[in-house]
Chains A and B, each alone.
Chain A
Amino acid sequence: MTELALTGFLGLSAGLFGIGIFGILTRRNFILLLISIEIAMNAAILNFVYFAAFPSGTSGLSGQSIAVVLIGFAATEVAVGLAIVLALNRLKGTINVARANDLKL
C-alpha cells in the first residue's frame, strides 16, 4: 500500500466523519442521530484498519483487534441509544430530541 493510497483512505474516513458530525448537528430525529453517530464512529474504526495495514505487515494484529472491539462498543452503544429512544417515545410520544429538554431550568 502506498502513501498515496493511504492519503486516499484517510480522506475517505475524514469525509465519513464529516458526514457523521453533520448528521449529529442537524438531525432532530433520534434514530437518524444514532445512525450519524455510527457513521462518525465507523470513520474512526476505518482509521485503525488503515494504520494496521501500513506499512504492510509490521504492526501485527493490534489495529484489527481494536477495530473489532470498537465494533462491539458501537453495538452496545446503539443498544443503549435505542433503549433511550423507546423510553423517550413512551414518555413523550415523539422521538424528536428537541423535545427532550426537561432538565433545563
Chain B
Amino acid sequence: MILGVLIALGEMWSPGSYTNVQFTWLHLAPAPGPFPNGLSLVMGTLVDPLSSLMLVVVTVVGFLVMLYSIGYMHHDHGLPRYYAELSLFLASMTGLVLANNLLEFFLFWELVGVCSYFLIGFYYEKPSAASAAKEAFLVTRVGDVLFLAGIFILFSTYSLAGPVGSGGWAANGFVFVQGSTAVPFLATAMGGHTTLLTVAGLLILGGAAGKSAQFPLHVWLPDAMEGPTTVSALIHAATMVAAGVYLLAITSVFIGFTPADQLAIVAIGGFTTFFAATMAVVHPDIKRVIAYSTISQLGYMVLAIGAGFAMVGLYHLFTHAFFKALLFLAAGSVIHAVGTQDLFKMGGLKKHMRVTAAAFAIGGLALAGIPPFAGFWSKDDVLSAVYSQLGSHPLYWPFFLLAFAAVFLTAYYIFRAWFLAFSGETTRDPTLPAAHEGPWVMQVPLVILSGFAVVAGLFVFLPGFQSLLLGGAGVAGIPPTYGTTDLLLSSVSVGLGLGGVGLAWSMWGNGRVYALAETSPVQAVRRLLLNRYYFKVGYDWIGLKGVYTISRAADFFDRFVIDGTIRGLQRMFAFASNRARALQSGFVSDYAAYVVAGLLGLFVLLLIVGPYLLGRLGGG
C-alpha cells in the first residue's frame, strides 16, 4: 500500500511521466501473413497517471479491507483460504493496473475474474453462493470472449500499419505509448474505413460491460453479494468491477474509439446508470441495494469515458471506490451485528452502532452527491463533461437526462436503506440479536474511509492531484471552473439529490414504513423491479431452453451416431474374436500343426506364383 501511494505521489511531482519497464516474452520473426513486420509479445509494467491513480485505490482500499476482515471473518474456519484468495486477487489487480499492453492486461483480467469466482463462492456449502459464483464467472466470460476477439482484431489490424516505430505496433509488442492514439492514425491509413475499428471497439466495450456489470451483462453483480461483505467491498465495488471502466479508459487514451463506439459507450453507460438505480429503489436486501448502486455509479464512469473524458471517469472511479467500500464495510458491520441482510427486519440501529451509522450516512451523502462529500465533485464533473459534449451527437441527450434522473433515485434509495436500518426506536424483528459495534479492526477502516469519503473529492483542488489528472489524456472540467452552466448543473443535481433524501425521509424516516396499497397500479412496477426486469429469468430461459435444446441434440448425436458406430464396430470384433478363440486349443502339438500347415501353404504358394514372379523380375 505504501509503495502504491508513493508511486502516486511521485506521479504528482513529475506530472505526466511515463515509466515503462519491459522484457520480450515471445518474438516471432517477420514473415508473410498477418504479421509482415513480425510480432512481439512483451510483459512489462507501465506507470502513468491512469495506473497510478488506480494503484492508490487498489492498495489503500485493499489494505483497509484486509484489516477489516480480521474482525469480520474471525469466526470463519476458511480464514487461510480467504486471505490466500484475497492476496492473489490484490496481486492480480495490481498487475492489471500496471500492465503495459493489452495481452498482459488480459491475462491479469482473467486472474481477477477467477479470484472473484473463488471469493463469491467462498461459502461454497451454500447452494446459492455456489450458483452465484458460477453465474458471475459465466456472465463475465461472455464479456471476456468479446474482449479477446477485440484484442485479436486490434492485433491483426495494427500489425499492418502501426503508429509505433518503423516496424509497426505488432513488432513493438503493442505496448501502450504516451500520446499515441492509434485509431485516427489507422483510419487515415485505411482510407477512412473504420468499420473494423468500430467492431473492435464494440467488442472491447462488451468485455468492459461484462466485468463492470453494465447492461445487458449486469445480472451477475447483485448475485455476487453471496460472498463475504468484505469481498463485496473490495472486489465488487472498489476494484475489480472498476477494471472494466479502466479498460475503457486505457483504450480511449492509448488506442482510441471511433465516434460510433463512443455513442455506444455513452448509451450503455447512461442507460445502465438509470436502469440499475431503479432496481435499487425497491430491494429489501441492504447489500443488493448497494450492489445496484455500484452498477449505476459504474455507468457514470462509462458515460464519462464514452463522452471522451477518460480522466473524469477515472476521477469518479477514484472517489467512488472510497465511499462505496465505506458503504459496504458499514453494511458488513450491520450484518455482523444483527445477522441478517433484510432491511425490513432492522431498524433503530443508530443507538447501538454510532460509528457505523455515521459512516453509512457519510457514504450515503457522498453517493447522493451532496457537497462537500466526495461523490458530489466527481459526479458533477461527469455530468458537466457529458453536457459539454451534447452538441457532438443529438443522441447523447436522452442518456444525459437518464443519468441526471438517476441522481434523484440514487439519493432516494441509499437513504431509504439508511432510514430503514438505522432510524426508529427498535428493530422491526424482535428476534434479532442485540446490536453492538464490531472490534476496533472493523471500526478503524470505517473511520479512515469516512475521511476519504469526505475529502477525496476535494483532492481535485490539490495542484499535485490536478496535474495527475491532467497528465492523462481526455481531460476537461479539471479543475472545475464553475461558470454559470456548471453552477446551474450542480445546483440542479444537488437539488435532485436533496429531493431524493427528503422523499426517503418522508417515506421511511423515523422508523416509518411506507406500505404501498396492494391494489395500487404501482405494484406492477414494483414487481417488475423486484424481478429485475425479468432479465435473470430471460437468461435462465435462454440457458435452459436454448442451450439445453442444442445440448440435447448434440447429446443425441454423440450417443447414437458416434457411440453407435463405435459400439457396432466393437460388437463385430467381439464376435469375430470369439470365433477365432476356438482355434486356441492350448495344446502345443496343435500349434505346431498350424506352423507346419502354414509352412506347407507357403511352399505351395511359392510353387504356384514363384515361376511367375521370377518371370516378372527377369531372373532365372
> Is A101 in contact with B586, judged by CB distance below 8 angstroms?
yes
Within A1-58, the residues touching B (CB, 8 Å) are 21, 24-28, 33
Which DSSP category, helix, strand, loop or mixed, fits chain B's interface? helix
- Pick the 10 closest A-B CB pairs, nearest first: A101-B586, A104-B586, A97-B588, A24-B592, A25-B593, A25-B589, A98-B587, A21-B596, A25-B592, A104-B584
Q: Does A105 contact B (CB under 8 A)?
A: yes
> Is A97 in contact with B587, judged by CB distance below 8 angstroms?
yes
> Is B586 in contact with A97, judged by CB distance below 8 angstroms?
no
Q: Does A86 contact B (CB under 8 A)?
A: no
Q: Please name the residue on chain A nearest to B587 by beta carbon.
A: A98
In the assembled complex, the Cα of A25 lies from the Cα of B593 at a distance in Å of 6
> Is B588 in contact with A105, judged by CB distance below 8 angstroms?
no
Residues of A within 8 A of B589 (CB): 24-28, 97-98
Residues of B within 8 A of A104 (CB): 584-586
Within B561-603, the residues touching A (CB, 8 Å) are 581, 584-589, 592-593, 596
Residues of A within 8 A of B581 (CB): 105
In the assembled complex, the Cα of A103 lies from the Cα of B586 at a distance in Å of 7
Q: Which of B587, B592, B596 contacts A101 (CB 8 A)?
A: B587
Q: Please name the residue on chain B nearest to A22 by beta carbon.
A: B596
Residues of chain A touching chain B, judged by Cβ–Cβ distance below 8 Å, are 21, 24-28, 33, 97-98, 100-105
In the assembled complex, the Cα of A103 lies from the Cα of B585 at a distance in Å of 10
In the assembled complex, the Cα of A65 lies from the Cα of B243 at a distance in Å of 86
Residues of B within 8 A of A105 (CB): 581, 584
By the criterion of a CB under 8 Å from any partner CB, how many residues of chain B are at the interface?
A: 10
Residues of A within 8 A of B584 (CB): 104-105
B584 CB, nearest partner CB in chain A, Å: 6
Q: Please name the residue on chain B nearest to A28 by beta carbon.
A: B589
B600 CB, nearest partner CB in chain A, Å: 10
Interface centre among A26, A102, A104 (most CB of B within 10 A): A104
A35 CB, nearest partner CB in chain B, Å: 14
Residues of A within 8 A of B596 (CB): 21, 24-25
Residues of B within 8 A of A102 (CB): 586
Residues of A within 8 A of B587 (CB): 97-98, 101
A6 CB, nearest partner CB in chain B, Å: 18
Q: Could you show 8 A-B contacts with beta carbons less than 8 Å apart?
A: A25-B589, A25-B593, A26-B589, A33-B588, A98-B587, A101-B586, A104-B585, A105-B581
In the assembled complex, the Cα of A105 lies from the Cα of B586 at a distance in Å of 9
Within B521-568, the residues touching A (CB, 8 Å) are none
Q: Given known contacts A25-B589, A98-B589, what 19 new A-B pairs fall within 8 Å (CB)?
A: A21-B596, A24-B589, A24-B596, A25-B592, A25-B596, A26-B589, A27-B589, A28-B589, A33-B588, A97-B588, A97-B589, A98-B587, A100-B588, A101-B585, A102-B586, A103-B586, A104-B584, A104-B585, A104-B586
In the assembled complex, the Cα of A28 lies from the Cα of B592 at a distance in Å of 12
Residues of B within 8 A of A100 (CB): 588
In the assembled complex, the Cα of A25 lies from the Cα of B592 at a distance in Å of 7
A23 CB, nearest partner CB in chain B, Å: 10
Residues of B within 8 A of A98 (CB): 587, 589
A16 CB, nearest partner CB in chain B, Å: 15
Residues of B within 8 A of A25 (CB): 589, 592-593, 596
Q: Please name the residue on chain B nearest to A97 by beta carbon.
A: B588
In the assembled complex, the Cα of A26 lies from the Cα of B587 at a distance in Å of 11
Residues of B within 8 A of A97 (CB): 587-589
In the assembled complex, the Cα of A103 lies from the Cα of B592 at a distance in Å of 16
Interface centre among B581, B588, B596 (most CB of A within 10 A): B588
In the assembled complex, the Cα of A97 lies from the Cα of B586 at a distance in Å of 10
In the assembled complex, the Cα of A21 lies from the Cα of B586 at a distance in Å of 19
Q: Please name the residue on chain B nearest to A100 by beta carbon.
A: B588
A91 CB, nearest partner CB in chain B, Å: 15
In the assembled complex, the Cα of A102 lies from the Cα of B588 at a distance in Å of 12
In the assembled complex, the Cα of A21 lies from the Cα of B585 at a distance in Å of 19
Q: Please name the residue on chain B nearest to A26 by beta carbon.
A: B589
Residues of B within 8 A of A21 (CB): 596
In the assembled complex, the Cα of A36 lies from the Cα of B587 at a distance in Å of 17
Residues of A within 8 A of B592 (CB): 24-25
Residues of B within 8 A of A27 (CB): 589
Residues of B within 8 A of A33 (CB): 588
A57 CB, nearest partner CB in chain B, Å: 23
Q: Please name the residue on chain B nearest to A37 by beta carbon.
A: B592
Interface membership of chain B positions 386-416, coded 1 if the CB is closer than 8 angstroms to chain A and 0 otherwise:
0000000000000000000000000000000
Residues of A within 8 A of B585 (CB): 101, 104
B409 CB, nearest partner CB in chain A, Å: 80
Within B346-391, the residues touching A (CB, 8 Å) are none
Residues of B within 8 A of A26 (CB): 589
B320 CB, nearest partner CB in chain A, Å: 75
